[in-house]
Amino acid sequence: MKKRTYIDLSHVIEDGVITHKGLPAPIICDYLSREESKKLYEPGTEFQIGKIEMVTNTGTYIDVPFHRYKDGADLAQTAIDKTAGLEGIVVSVDPTLTAIDESHFQHVDVKGKAVLIHTGWDRYWNTDDYLENHPYLTESAAAYLVSQQPALVGIDSMNIDDTKGKARPAHTLLLGSDIVIAEHLCHLDQLTESFLFYAVPPKIKGSGTFPVRAFAEVQRK
């Protein structure tokens, strides 16, 4: 019988951690502390109710079409099978490479799959280096992927686009073709065998981005 193993591909979201340059860090605190809750319940019973203030681009997250297009599907309109149980494939690139072009994808079958781009950039998470000169997809790479129709494209970098300029061709092309984007993945080096990919967000109306607990399911003997 095969045993299911799960590999966590998500960063920890914690108070004060910067995910994206120019965006605020999350504030995670008590709405109702355990000490205050003692006043509301019988002796020996206490609870904590948390409060989180954050932008939706925090931690490991996905983008769906509404993030880029006002008439695109939002999180509530995104079918579960867009982000769950996807056959996954890892495309590893040279860790010194910044601009990732289409040549890295022309030798693999990506149709209907979650294509996860392993750059190793996650090693800089929660440092200033993570926010600068990160790897990204070129416009031609994004266009090629659109032509091959993957279900999802993810990367272990700060952004799938080059953030030094104002253009965002990867977001424009991928989301314009109803291809989900996952950013800030990690531990992709652990995916050395076939796997299914999951990155399911909450069912939120009017939002095109939200943190997920991304993970891979691997079946081993």
Note the pLDDT of residue 1: 66
Q: Which of the pair, 1 or 85, is modelled with greater confidence?
A: 85
**DSSP secondary structure of 126-181:** TSGGGGSS--EE-HHHHHHHHHH--SEEEESSS-SS-TTSS--HHHHHHHHTT-EE
Mean pLDDT of 88-105: 97
3-state secondary structure of 66: helix
Query: 2: exposed, middle or buried (C-beta count within 10 Å: 0-12, 13-18, 19+)?
Result: exposed
Nearest CA among 117, 163, 170, 112 for reference residue 142: 170
Question: Rounded to 5 degrees, what are φ and ψ at 148?
Answer: -100, -5
Q: 7 with 215: CB under 8 angstroms?
A: yes
* Residue 27 is assigned to a structural domain of this protein: no
Kindly report the CATH number assigned to the domain that includes residue 172: 3.50.30.50
C-alpha torsion sign, points 160, 165, 166, 170: negative
2 has a pLDDT exceeding 90? no
* Residue 49 is assigned to a structural domain of this protein: no
* Residue 98 is assigned to a structural domain of this protein: yes
Is residue 219 very low, low, confident or very high in pLDDT (cuts 50, 70, 90)? confident
Q: 175 with 151: CB under 8 angstroms?
A: no
Instruction: Encode pLDDT of 34-71 as tens digits.
Output: 999 999 999 999 999 999 999 999 999 999 999 999 99
C-alpha torsion sign, points 208, 10, 17, 47: positive
Q: How far apart are CA 66 and CA 73, in angstroms?
A: 5
Mean pLDDT of 86-91: 98
* Residue 107 is assigned to a structural domain of this protein: yes
The stretches of the chain forming alpha helices (DSSP H) are: 34-37, 139-148, 169-176
* Residue 126 is assigned to a structural domain of this protein: yes
* Residue 129 is assigned to a structural domain of this protein: yes
Q: How far apart are CA 170 and CA 107, in angstroms?
A: 20
Instruction: Encode pLDDT of 117-176 as tens digits.
Output: 999 999 999 999 999 999 999 999 999 999 999 999 999 999 999 999 999 999 999 999
Q: How far apart are CA 213 and CA 77, in angstroms?
A: 19
Domain that holds residue 68: 3-11+56-220
pTM for the model stands at 0.96
* Residue 176 is assigned to a structural domain of this protein: yes
Q: How far apart are CA 135 and CA 155, in angstroms?
A: 9
Mean pLDDT of 93-110: 96
Note the pLDDT of residue 3: 86
Instruction: Encode pLDDT of 162-196 as tens digits.
Output: 999 999 999 999 999 999 999 999 999 999 899 99
Looking at the structure of the chain, the number of domains it has is: 1
